[in-house]
Structure 1
Amino acid sequence: MDKSAQKESLEWIRKESLDPNCVRSLACHGIEEKTEVFKFYKCLTFLWHFNTYPHQSFILLIDEIHRMTKNIQDYLLPYLESEQVMLIGVTTENPIMSIVPAVRSRCQIFEFKALSDQNILTVLKNGDLPSVVRRLREIPYTYIGLANPEQVTQIVVAANQAEKIGMPKATYPLMFATMLMCLSPKSGSFDQVWEQLDQDTQYPGQHPMPRGLRDMHYKHSEEITGGVLIENPFEQPFQIAKQNYMPKGFEGKRYYFAKDNLNEKKLEQQYLKLHKYIYGQDYKK
């Protein structure tokens, strides 16, 4: 089961089975620096001393717990041992490899498996059409994407129509959308681009934006940020301004690499030509 489906399932279980007043949620995304460790520790301490429910246990939900370093995971131990905090960690990685043994031994592991065709039919028969439609709106962008943008639009339109029609006739646009997804070439390039962007933007202070792209809407902004007006692309040939658009240190860095399908190969050529036109050279190897 993919990440978003796991989260939706777990969130439903949490809402249905727990008192919302005693749930506190914490999203963890790449906590590594000492300042982030301190913030995380303060958050746990806040839960420990939460005055509103001094005699009540708490649920600590940590999304993407595998992103936490081993040292930070160790901070959880006294709270787990005290039994005032019950940990729910969500991960798409192997918990045997990504969670420290001391924490893992105090937890029970549940694996969310992909739904079978029979499971999906059961969901539809039980009337959970909105959940299916929501997934059909998201999946095409994630897995098809640039490989076949036209079919992405067709799938989303079919999903919207299914929601308007309602069951049982909604099965036809749902079948149409599902078959298109199965037959379409797949991409997945968005995930690779996003992972690289997420990594490169961890320390924005080290990579300031070009002066022309900095905020200049307030008085004295040019003196404070060093910003200047960018060239108007609509006054340039082909409506493209030949100026730097990349943060410091990332000039000439390539983020998009096409997958092996016809449409992306065409887009890749356009991508490479555009870069060479703006910067006067090819991407760095």
Structure 2
Amino acid sequence: MQQPLAYRMRPTTIEEVVGQQQLVGEGKIINRMVKAKMLSSMILYGPPGTGKTSIASAIAGSTKYAFRKLNAATDSKKDLQIVAEEAKMSGTVILLLDEIHRLDKVKQDFLLPLLESGQVVLIGATTENPYISINPAIRSRTQIFEVHPLSPDDIKTAVNRALSDKERGLGNVKVNLSDPALNFLSQSTNGDLRSALNGLELAVKSTSADRENVINISLPIIEECVQRKAITQDKDGDAHYDVISAFQKSIRGSDVDAALHYMGRLIEGGDLQSISRRLMVIAYEDIGMANLAACSRTVEAIEAANKLGFPEARIPLADTVIELCLSPKSNSGMTAIDAALSDIRSGLSGEIPNHLKDAHYSGAKKLGHGTTYKYPHDFPNDWIKQQYLPDKLAGTQYYKPKQTSRFERAYGERYQALRAAQTK
């Protein structure tokens, strides 16, 4: 039986890894470990299909170390013992331990000395937050790296590679994948490369060739093979971004029903990634200081939605959209930081006042750094008048409070009172 395309296309070297360039790109931490052959045990956490197993197999392929794969939930201590014996006989073994958050104490106690000695380089893979779900004894002996859903461009790169690879991929078959089909495949799988390659392979194997022996894969075929509809797409892919734009503008305009409608389109397209990112942007850009608690609740809802997955994810997402629509609105935080950045980019920085400079090193006192700083907690109400902005920016006001909610009105009153006290 032939192995699935996603399995066959796993990278054999670190350079072949698609995505996760913040970890495996030139000069980045895992790339450096591989080049120096100074591997440390690590935990990779993130959604399914984002490359955790691929990174592990690429590390093994690049270093030429033996590579073994076990599952913390289903494999036994005896399976770990076999890996340990192999490490004693042949040297370092890289062990990919899937679902590491389900590692029990017996297996953990067996693993710990192997990690200490370096005989086994553990690469734990999990979809759970390791800071919450993994025992501190394991965490303290590993480096923790988060992996992210792949971008549509990453998916396209991997799909095109699979279509052209004659040894492991589909390169020996004449396949014509239409641009709309490729765009949809790269966006509808939400950064899950495994799903994209599985859908591609099913489409190719289940579609008859034409008279020229070419297998033509159209958008409807890909829709059927990944079981999602291109509701947010058009021929050029522009409609996807139009829906996202309409989604944000509907929340900004406080129209609950329109916002739910546009999110419904994104849900039907299976686009949890776009919904999650856009809701966090909306919360802090459009609601912000008017209701910071709603911003925090949005982050919690998105975390719940990503753990649940569809269809249940629609419930916390809908609750959040309704709250954001009906919440008071304010973009004062965004406009404040943009105003500060505008000054900085225009060259209006100025020298930091001496009393604010670091005084924790030998010679700082001779330079007058930090010597006249007044520690606010030593004064009544934990505040004392002193200048914080550089001289050329003294008195500049970036934050301009809005009056749309009692929360920001309260912050605004405090802000204005402090400014008045500072300038007296």
* TM-score class normalised by the smaller sequence: 0.5 to 0.7
Distance across 2 between alignment mates of 1:134 and 1:205: 33
| Structure 2 unmatched runs, 5+ | 1-149, 159-237, 247-259
1:258-273 equivalent positions in 2, closer than 5 A: 258-263=401-406, 264-273=408-417
| 1:247 pairs with 2:386 | no
1:237-257 alpha-carbon deviations (Å, 9 max, x no partner): 101122111111111222211
Q: How far 1:207 sits from its partner (Å)?
A: 0.8
Counterpart of 1:147 (choices 267, 275, 290) is 290
1:276 corresponds in structure 2 to 420
TM-score by length of 2: 0.38
Q: How far 1:259 sits from its partner (Å)?
A: 2.1
Q: How far 1:202 sits from its partner (Å)?
A: 2.9
Distance across 2 between alignment mates of 1:254 and 1:148: 22
1:265-284 alpha-carbon deviations (Å, 9 max, x no partner): 2221110111223x243xxx
2:373 corresponds in structure 1 to 230
Counterpart of 2:308 (choices 149, 156, 165) is 165
- Contact 2:343 2:349 survives alignment (8 Å): no
Counterpart of 1:113 (choices 224, 236, 242) is 242
- Higher alpha-carbon deviation: 171-180 or 110-119: 110-119
User: Partner letter of residue 413 of structure 2?
Assistant: Q
User: Partner letter of residue 304 of structure 2?
Assistant: Q
| 1:256 pairs with 2:395 | no
Q: How far 1:206 sits from its partner (Å)?
A: 5.5
| Structure 1 unmatched runs, 5+ | 1-10, 20-109
- What is the identity percentage for the equivalent residue pairs of Structure 1 and Structure 2? 27
- Contact 1:210 1:248 survives alignment (8 Å): yes
Distance across 2 between alignment mates of 1:225 and 1:150: 42
SS in 2 for 1:169: coil
Alignment RMSD, CA only? 2.9
1:15 corresponds in structure 2 to 154
2:56 corresponds in structure 1 to none
- Higher alpha-carbon deviation: 255-264 or 241-250: 255-264
TM-score by length of 1: 0.55
Q: How far 1:12 sits from its partner (Å)?
A: 3.6
Distance across 2 between alignment mates of 1:139 and 1:241: 36
* Alignment CA distance shift 1:148-1:193 (3 Å): same
1:153-178 alpha-carbon deviations (Å, 9 max, x no partner): 22222222222222211111110001
1:97-136 alpha-carbon deviations (Å, 9 max, x no partner): xxxxxxxxxxxxx895343566643542444324322332
- How many equivalent residue pairs? 180
User: Partner letter of residue 331 of structure 2?
Assistant: G
| 1:202 pairs with 2:341 | no
- Higher alpha-carbon deviation: 258-267 or 173-182: 258-267
User: Partner letter of residue 154 of structure 2?
Assistant: K
Q: How far 1:13 sits from its partner (Å)?
A: 4.5
Counterpart of 2:271 (choices 128, 133, 138) is 128
- Contact 1:162 1:173 survives alignment (8 Å): yes
User: Partner letter of residue 167 of structure 1?
Assistant: F
* Alignment CA distance shift 1:18-1:224 (3 Å): farther
2:184 corresponds in structure 1 to none
* Alignment CA distance shift 1:222-1:196 (3 Å): farther
* Alignment CA distance shift 1:248-1:204 (3 Å): farther
2:317 corresponds in structure 1 to 174
User: Partner letter of residue 416 of structure 2?
Assistant: L
- Contact 1:156 1:177 survives alignment (8 Å): no
- Contact 1:137 1:155 survives alignment (8 Å): yes
Distance across 1 between alignment mates of 2:322 and 2:385: 44
List 4+ stretches of structure 1 deviating above 6 A.
none
- Contact 1:129 1:163 survives alignment (8 Å): yes
1:18-167 equivalent positions in 2, closer than 5 A: 112-115=241-244, 120-167=263-310
1:58 corresponds in structure 2 to none
SS in 2 for 1:221: coil
1:94 corresponds in structure 2 to none
1:204-243 alpha-carbon deviations (Å, 9 max, x no partner): 6851111121133332234457443521111111011221
* Alignment CA distance shift 1:168-1:205 (3 Å): closer
SS in 2 for 1:220: coil
Distance across 2 between alignment mates of 1:18 and 1:135: 25
* Alignment CA distance shift 1:233-1:227 (3 Å): closer
- Contact 1:215 1:225 survives alignment (8 Å): no
Distance across 1 between alignment mates of 2:285 and 2:405: 18
SS in 1 for 2:304: helix
- Contact 1:233 1:239 survives alignment (8 Å): yes
